[in-house]
């Protein structure tokens, strides 16, 4: 039996706490269906804080400014988030992850990696670098280190991140993402017409993906 080939566009932000949780649950569902589905994943950038400076802002300051959260409210949220992430196999270490950063160049690195079919490897390395190690993923050297560790040429990557051509291609992805008029992330588009919003459970992702195996999703738009 040949595998069903599907295309998945993951709409995310590199600094979004719920995005790696949803991504991990999606991967777990794909693992369960690996004998029946062959998935190709690409990424659409969604910048939660496009005006964030490179040096970033502390998470505590951000939530106080944006939500008027007290330190106690933030702590309760982080404890709950860490537990949810652990259940999905994701490590978030708030002793190291202290800031939100501008994510534009990190997204551009993912885009650049597509031509080498390393976009997923870059995305997973960014998750490790930011959520577990607390690194500044807006810093060029951090991004170049990731690229180099994955076998990408450092100089070529540095030139690409500052090139007009890559910037133009990146903006086209931003335009596509905005055309979807999403209200939250993560979100996943399967075969260009099936939208799954939210981090969701492994079971929900598995159920949705199974529809493609059975051929039930053809010519139908499914929003979950």
| 31-51 mean pLDDT | 95
Query: Taking 60 as the threshold, does the pLDDT of residue 98 lie above it?
Result: yes
Contact 138, 48 (CB under 8 A): no
pLDDT at 213: 86
CATH of the domain at 21: 3.40.30.10
> What does the H/E/C string look like for 8-74?
EEEEECCCCCHHHHHHHHHHHHHHHCCCCEEEEEEEEECCCCCCCCCCCEEHHHHHHHHHCCCHHHH
Q: State yes or no: pLDDT of 223 exceeds 90.
A: no
Strand partners, 99: 58
Q: What is the pLDDT of residues 107-154, one digit of tens each?
A: 999 999 999 999 999 999 999 999 999 999 999 999 999 999 999 999
Model-wide pTM > 0.75: yes
DSSP E strands in 110-207: the ranges are 187-190, 194-197
**Count of domains forming the chain:** 1
Distance, CA of 36 to CA of 219 (rounded, Å): 20
Give the residues across from 38 on adjacent strands: 5
Q: Cβ distance 89 to 25 under 8 Å?
A: no
8 is in which domain, residue-wise?
Answer: 4-223
Is residue 43's pLDDT more than 70? yes
What is d(CA 147, CA 61) in angstroms, rounded to the nearest whole number? Answer: 31
């Amino acid at each position: 039996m040949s595998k069903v080939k599907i295309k998945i566009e993951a709409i995310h932000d590199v600094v979004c706490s719920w995005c790696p949780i949803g991504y991990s649950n999606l991967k777990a569902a794909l693992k369960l269906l690996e004998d029946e589905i062959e998935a190709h994943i690409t990424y659409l950038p969604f910048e939660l804080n496009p005006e964030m400076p490179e040096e970033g802002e502390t998470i505590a300051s951000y939530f106080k400014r944006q939500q008027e959260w007290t330190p106690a409210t933030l702590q309760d949220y982080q404890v709950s988030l860490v537990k949810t992430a652990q259940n999905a196999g994701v490590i978030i270490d708030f002793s190291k992850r202290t800031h939100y950063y501008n994510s534009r160049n990190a997204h551009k690195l993912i885009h650049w990696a597509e031509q080498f079919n390393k976009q997923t490897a870059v995305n997973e390395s960014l998750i490790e670098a930011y959520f577990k190690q607390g690194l500044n993923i807006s810093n060029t050297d951090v991004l170049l280190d990731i690229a180099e560790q994955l076998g990408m040429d450092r100089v070529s990557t540095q030139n690409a991140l500052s090139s007009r051509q890559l910037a133009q291609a990146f903006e086209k992805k931003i335009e596509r993402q905005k055309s979807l008029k999403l209200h939250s992330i993560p979100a996943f588009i399967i075969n260009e017409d099936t939208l799954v919003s939210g981090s969701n459970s492994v079971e929900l992702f598995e159920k949705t993906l199974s529809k493609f195996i059975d051929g039930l999703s053809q010519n139908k738009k499914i929003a979950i």
